[in-house]
Amino acid sequence: MDQNYGEEREEGQNDPNNQNQIDDQEGQEEEMNPQDDIESELMYIYEWVDSIELSRPKKNIARDFSDGVLLAEIIKNYLPRLVDLHNYPSCSNSKHKESNWNVLNNKVLKKIGIKLSKKEITDIIKCEHLAIERLLQRVYNVLQEKININKEQKNNNLNEIKNNNDILRKTLQEKENIIKQLHDIIEVLELKLKHSQEMEKTLENKVEQLTGILNQNNNEEK
């Protein structure tokens, strides 16, 4: 089973042969090496990297990341459109590693606000102590910020959609109410029209009756 970076460091801290530990049997108080403090602070970085599925087994973080390939994979995991993994072939030659890092530096890192100096690239290639961890920490912070921004934008978009839906629902309800009111008005008008027609018919009948009576009286007078 592959060993995770975080587990690797925990085992190293418990190793009795570790140079950063003082033999308890000598009765001396254990002292904390400043490097141990730094690595302890970086545990979240090791755990973060361990949580991402990479193309290689996890062995030694400095060596594993020295050619830039795994960092390209990590960034692609979060920003897939930004990284083309074909640009970063796995290699062990220092010149090829440098070529990978130059491409990654100019085409990817620069676009997320990170610019590596030549010395930083050299230190990573040479597996200098904590060189890759410092870069991973910067990348982690940038990616987390982008994730938070994306979440905020997504929440804002969802809220905007919800508000628009509420407005649309309210507008539709108002229109339905207006339509119902118009139907009620139409029903009242229809009833009035029917009543008017009945009244008109009644008046016509009365006019006919009166006309008949007048005609009859006229005939009788003649």
Residue 13's φ and ψ, nearest 5 degrees, are -70, -25
- pTM of this prediction? 0.60
User: How far is Cα 99 from Cα 214, in angstroms, rounded to an integer?
Assistant: 121
- Tell me the pLDDT band of 22, cut-offs 50, 70 and 90: very low
Q: Where are the domains of the chain?
A: 5-22+29-149
Give me the mean pLDDT over the 18-24 stretch: 42
**% of the chain with per-residue pLDDT over 70:** 77
pLDDT recorded at residue 204: 84
CATH says 5-22+29-149 is which class? mainly alpha
**Token pair 């339509």: residue:** 179
